[in-house]
Amino acid sequence: MNDMNLHLLHDEKFFDPFAEKLESLGLLDNNVFVIKECGPLKFIRRTDLVFGRLCDTELLGDVSRYKKVFIHSFSFEMYRWVHQHTFQELNWMIWGKELYESELVDFKLYEPYTKRIVRKIRNTRITLALYYRRAENYLMNIDVKKIYNKIDNVLTWIEPEYNYAVKHIKGLNAKHKEFAYTFEHDVKMLIDKFNTEQFYINAASKNLRFIIGNSGASANNHLDALHAIAKINFGEVMMPVSYGDQKYILLLKQEVLSTYGAKHITYADKFLNFGQYLDFFNRYDVFVSNSLRPIGMGNIWMAFLLGKLVFMNPNNLVFSYLKSLGLDVYGLDTINQIATIVKDVDLEMNKKIASNFLATERIDELYAGLFGKSVEALELC
C-alpha cells in the first residue's frame, strides 16, 4: 500500500470523467475509489472502477496504509470518520458548498434583491436549519479544530479560495495544491466555434443578448443581475433554469414579471444535451455570473472560448483570480460602461488564455503530480 491513494467520493456524475482521466493516464493501479453512500448507485456509470463503500470498514482496513487520502467534498458527515483515523497525508478537494454554506464561515451568498426572495422560501430555511442542527448533534463530542488540523493539503484551482478557507476555519493549517476537475468539454471544438461577428453587430445596434447564470440556483443572484442590466439597452436577457430550486425559480419569474414585464426576458426551462446547449449558448453575446461563491465555472470558460463578453460579481473570489491570469473580465458594477468595454475587450486574447489554462498537457502534468507514483509523475511531466 506504500504507493496507493485512497479517494472518498460521492455518487455524482463527476466520478466518471475524473476516474476515466486517471485511467487514460495509466494511474488506476495506485488509485482506489470508495463511495461515501452505501445505497444503490444512481449516477456513477463506471461501477467497475468502484473499489467499495465507506461503510465497508473491513474492506478499507487501516487507512494509514495509504500514501495519500483524498476527500472529494469534506462535508460534515465525514468529520467522525476523519476523527477516527490517522493518515500519512490527508487532502481536501473543495467543492464549495461544504465551505461557503457551512456554519464554519459567515459567507454572504445573496445580494439584496435575491435575499428578499430567499426569505420567502420558508421551507428552505427550515431545511437548512435541520441540516445544521443534525450536524451539530453529530459533532457534539468532537473537536472540529482537531479534525481540520489533520488536513495536510487543500486542493482547489484558485488560491484565493484556499486563503479564505485557511483564514476562516479554525484549526486548518494546510498547504495549498492546485487542482481542478477536468474541463468536461472539448476545448478545440469550442475554439472552432469562436466567432465575434455577431457580438460586434449587436453591440453597435445596442442589441446585445445576455445570459444570466448557469441554473436555477438562488446563489446566481439573477434578480440583482437583471436589475443592473435593465439600466442599459439590451436585446434579450435569458436565464437557464432547467434545474435548481423550483420554489425559488417560481418566485423569481413572478418577481421579474411584476417588475420588468415579459418583454425581452426569457427562460431556458427544458433540459438540453451538451450539443443543444452549446448551440443555444452561442446565440448570445454576454455571459453574466452574479454569484458570490464560485459556481458555474464551465459556463464561464465556455464563454471565453466562444468569444463572449463576461461580467462577474466583483466580490466573487474567482473574479480577481481570472483577472490575475490576464483575462478581460469585468465587474457587473461597471456594466453602465459597456459602450467603452465593448471597444476595449480583447476577446481573442481571452480565448488564448482560456485554452492555455485548460490545455490537456497542463492538466495531465497536474494529475500526474498529484495522483501518480513518484517515478510515473516524473515520466508524465
Three-class DSSP category at 261: coil
Q: What is the dihedral of CA 53, 58, 60, 65, to 10 degrees?
A: 170
Arithmetic mean of pLDDT over the chain:
90
- Domain assignment of residue 134, yes or no: no
Q: Determine the pLDDT at residue 332.
A: 98
Residues 338 and 245 in one domain: yes
* DSSP of 78-103: GHHHHHH---S-EEEE--SHHHHTST
Average pLDDT over residues 279-305: 95
What percentage of residues in the chain have a pLDDT greater than 70?
A: 92
Residue 326 scores a pLDDT above 50: yes
Q: Determine the pLDDT at residue 27.
A: 96
Residues 242 and 172 in one domain: no
Strand partners, 236: 209
Average pLDDT over residues 132-150: 72
- Domain assignment of residue 317, yes or no: yes
Q: How far apart are CA 265 and CA 236, in angstroms?
A: 6
Residues 284 and 320 in one domain: yes
Residues 195 and 327 in one domain: yes
State the amino acid at position 90 in one-letter form.
Answer: L
- Domain assignment of residue 370, yes or no: yes
Residues 298 and 210 in one domain: yes
- Domain assignment of residue 82, yes or no: yes
Residue 139 scores a pLDDT above 90: no
Residues 315 and 337 in one domain: yes
Q: Determine the pLDDT at residue 232.
A: 94
- Domain assignment of residue 239, yes or no: yes
Q: Determine the pLDDT at residue 376.
A: 45
Q: Determine the pLDDT at residue 123.
A: 53
Average pLDDT over residues 22-34: 96
* pLDDT tens-digit series, residues 342-368: 999 999 999 999 999 998 898 999 999
Q: Determine the pLDDT at residue 381.
A: 42
Q: Determine the pLDDT at residue 162.
A: 95
The secondary element (H helix, E strand) that includes residue 255 is helix 246-260
Average pLDDT over residues 208-216: 97
Residue 192 scores a pLDDT above 70: yes
Whole-structure pTM value: 0.88
Residues 302 and 264 in one domain: yes
Residues 172 and 231 in one domain: no
Among 138-152, 184-198, 247-261, the minimum mean pLDDT is found in: 138-152
- Domain assignment of residue 139, yes or no: no
What is the residue range of 239's domain? Answer: 187-357
Residues 255 and 244 in one domain: yes
Q: How confident is the model at residue 292 (pLDDT cuts 50, 70, 90)?
A: very high
- Domain assignment of residue 174, yes or no: yes
Residue 277 scores a pLDDT above 80: yes
What percentage of residues in the chain have a pLDDT greater than 90?
A: 75
Residues 62 and 99 in one domain: yes
- Domain assignment of residue 128, yes or no: no
Q: How confident is the model at residue 182 (pLDDT cuts 50, 70, 90)?
A: confident
Class of residue 170 by CB neighbours under 10 A (exposed 0-12, middle 13-18, buried 19+): exposed
Residues 36 and 164 in one domain: yes
Q: Determine the pLDDT at residue 135.
A: 57
Residues 159 and 234 in one domain: no
Q: How confident is the model at residue 134 (pLDDT cuts 50, 70, 90)?
A: low
Residues near 377 by beta carbon (within 8 Å), at least 6 away in sequence? 368, 369
For residue 63, the domain's CATH number is 3.40.50.2000
The total domain count for the chain is 2
